[in-house]
Chains A and B, each alone.
Chain A
């Protein structure tokens, strides 16, 4: 830290608080009001003071938030919005981490929320606002402070990135800066936990006093002139607070960027990074997933069965519910946990290191085709491994509409669970051409994403995506273990909270429907064909007549595939009452499928099989993906997504079969 920066300077009051006596109507009757209905629904509880962190993107705001609150945080969408706000407890105060914003003139839903929370209702504002400001980019960071200071609000400016500023030769005088801005200024380094005590003292002092008088800002008529006034004010504050403005030399980050954003090398590096992400979310995660899978289908199930046998309940409905419902459901949920944890760690590393902004630059031109920014590439790549973490990865997108569109496109990426079904079906129907057909499914997946993206762009989101790329490239930095772990844990908790109920409930519901007899017989003692589930599958079956695969066994497999694609093959095996095939040899199951497809398609099994694979590719991937979608985009849009997927899947399957059966 530069010796000229004095963290303790902040505790001194700025000159702005001297004149707090005027305008009594705008003053709080007590320094700690208790009416934060929205802000305090979690955190330190109602009645506790609410402190809000605001700051430009990349200002180190979330790092500070994590440093102040530790693990006691909740992350969730702000009620009625898709904007994520973290709440935490900091010394018995509620701390809010508001979305990154450059100014209070909103250009995005995130910024709009920040403005609304800070300004809309005078009785429901935070008690104190900490403007997290990047010391290395002070002029840019202080624009927000200039706007907040126009309102009657307790403000503290927290200077971050002091180390980066120091390396650039920037030296700041926090006393002078504090005097110029009219509020306390604290220099800190949240990554190394320096200056946090000084911030604590400054906040406590400030909360014990009245809000300072707003800076006068009644100069100008229009927005541009007002903005100009603010820029002038900011420039004066920076001038006053800078002992040395530093120099703009070629930095370490510039040297990396020479490769990372170069026309040819940039994409190559990006592909390398994406390959690593893909590898980790598939190859590395697979053995851990297998472990949980084996644990639950093996020892845990066996233990439960033995337990029920000891109680004399073998074959009872309770045994069925616990073993086929609860244990199977929880087991499925847990197989996703290591995968999600790895994904969240990778995301945090990419974000925190600064590489994500470069990746956005590299892929920008390509992604513009479907109206999404370059960053949207990452969730789509991850989707080819597994859709569930991919949906959560849409979080890297700042704009709510872009997040929504990406979350609706992710289910069309062909995940590895679908691959197993593709391999079986294409081995049965296409023999030596199986590899080519599977490859074609991946091409079809990409075309589906582009096609659906363009379709949604042209219809629902006409206004979106016209913004050209303008993105700040923060300096590279080493990610810190603490922040990565905190972010990963918070996101994982969020996933488990939402997904666990949906996944376990769905698995139990399928078991229940398969156990209820449709035409008499005991509960849990019927064949699938005679259960409510089997009868329902038979009822739906005619829908697939024009697509050439209208047999109830296949429909049943597709319905189970709604829960998880891994279950499609085992469902076929179960309904045909055959053993599940081992390895690549489809065996007798293949013969049965071939025979049924030939029959249902009226002698055109090849186009029927293609139609089936296209349907499988495009319809809802699995219940865990839906659970992740509900968490990210809410029930309504998840429902829209399901309808969209089913419509596209059915339409394409029919086209493939009808056109295909003209040739084969």
Chain B
């Protein structure tokens, strides 16, 4: 299984969300970032965060969050 944290995830690659920090699970799920969701990382943002594309929309994630989010390369 090809798993890594969001901080190490490659750009512009189809990914599947595997695990999010429990404290932020609700907040993330509202924007479509639930375990099992298909998404991709578009680019790095100012301050070391990432901008991801999920279900047609764009979501900016802060740097503090990246290490806690586990992702897998989409099958």
Partners in one complex: yes
Q: Contact: B56 with A137, CB < 8 Å?
A: yes
Closest B residue to A473 by CB, please name it.
B58
Q: Contact: A227 with B29, CB < 8 Å?
A: yes
List 26 interface pairs A-B (beta carbons < 8 Å), by A numbering.
Answer: A102-B31, A136-B57, A139-B55, A227-B26, A227-B29, A246-B56, A257-B43, A258-B43, A261-B43, A263-B46, A267-B46, A360-B60, A364-B46, A365-B48, A365-B49, A365-B62, A365-B63, A366-B47, A469-B61, A469-B65, A470-B31, A470-B60, A471-B59, A472-B58, A472-B60, A473-B51
Most B-side CB within 10 Å, residue of A246, A258, A360, A467: A467
- B74 interface contact, C-beta 8 A: no
In-complex Cβ contact of B57 among A258, A365, A472 (8 A): A472
Q: 8 Å CB contacts to B: which residues of A207-255?
A: 227, 231, 246, 248, 253-254
- A190 interface contact, C-beta 8 A: no
B55 to chain A, nearest CB (A): 6
A136-B57, A469-B62, A472-B59 known; A231+B34 contact, CB < 8 A: yes
A163-192 toward B: CB 8 Å interface, digit per residue (1/0)? 000001010000000000000000000000
- A625 interface contact, C-beta 8 A: no
Most A-side CB within 10 Å, residue of B45, B56, B64: B56
A140-B31, A470-B28 known; A261+B57 contact, CB < 8 A: no
User: Please, which residues of chain A bring their CB within 8 A of the CB of B61?
Assistant: 468-470
Q: Contact: A139 with B45, CB < 8 Å?
A: no
Q: Contact: B58 with A254, CB < 8 Å?
A: yes
A137 to B33 alpha-carbon distance, docked (Å):
13
Q: Contact: B46 with A107, CB < 8 Å?
A: no
User: Please, which residues of chain B bring their CB within 8 A of the CB of A258?
Assistant: 43
Q: Contact: B26 with A266, CB < 8 Å?
A: no
Q: Contact: A470 with B57, CB < 8 Å?
A: no
A141 to chain B, nearest CB (A): 10
User: Please, which residues of chain B bring their CB within 8 A of the CB of A366?
Assistant: 47
A261-B46, A361-B45 known; A469+B30 contact, CB < 8 A: no
- A143 interface contact, C-beta 8 A: yes
A231-B34, A361-B46, A364-B49 known; A468+B24 contact, CB < 8 A: yes
Supply 14 further A-B pairs (C-beta < 8 A) apart from A136-B56, A470-B62. Answer: A140-B55, A168-B56, A227-B29, A257-B43, A261-B60, A263-B48, A267-B46, A366-B47, A468-B24, A468-B61, A468-B65, A469-B60, A470-B27, A470-B65
A102-B30, A139-B32, A468-B65 known; A257+B46 contact, CB < 8 A: no
Give B residues with C-beta under 8 Å from A. Answer: 24, 26-32, 34, 42-49, 51, 53, 55-65
In-complex Cβ contact of B47 among A254, A357, A362 (8 A): A362
A536 to B74 alpha-carbon distance, docked (Å):
75
A257-B58, A364-B62, A472-B57 known; A143+B30 contact, CB < 8 A: yes
B70 to chain A, nearest CB (A): 16
User: Please, which residues of chain A bring their CB within 8 A of the CB of B56?
Assistant: 136-137, 168, 170, 246, 248
- A262 interface contact, C-beta 8 A: yes
The 3 closest A-B pairs by CB, nearest first: A469-B62, A365-B47, A102-B30
User: Please, which residues of chain A bring their CB within 8 A of the CB of B51?
Assistant: 257, 261, 361, 473
Q: Contact: A361 with B49, CB < 8 Å?
A: yes
A254 to B56 alpha-carbon distance, docked (Å):
12
User: Please, which residues of chain A bring their CB within 8 A of the CB of B26?
Assistant: 105, 107, 227
Q: Contact: B49 with A472, CB < 8 Å?
A: no
- A103 interface contact, C-beta 8 A: yes
User: Please, which residues of chain B bring their CB within 8 A of the CB of A168?
Assistant: 56
User: Please, which residues of chain B bring their CB within 8 A of the CB of A107?
Assistant: 26-27
In-complex Cβ contact of B45 among A137, A266, A472 (8 A): A266
A239 to B29 alpha-carbon distance, docked (Å):
19
Q: Contact: B43 with A140, CB < 8 Å?
A: no
A361 to B51 alpha-carbon distance, docked (Å):
10
A231 to B24 alpha-carbon distance, docked (Å):
17
A362 to chain B, nearest CB (A): 4
In-complex Cβ contact of A468 among B29, B55, B59, B62 (8 A): B62
User: Please, which residues of chain B bring their CB within 8 A of the CB of A102?
Assistant: 30-31
A168 to B53 alpha-carbon distance, docked (Å):
14
A263 to B48 alpha-carbon distance, docked (Å):
7
A362 to B45 alpha-carbon distance, docked (Å):
7
A318-330 toward B: CB 8 Å interface, digit per residue (1/0)? 0000000000000
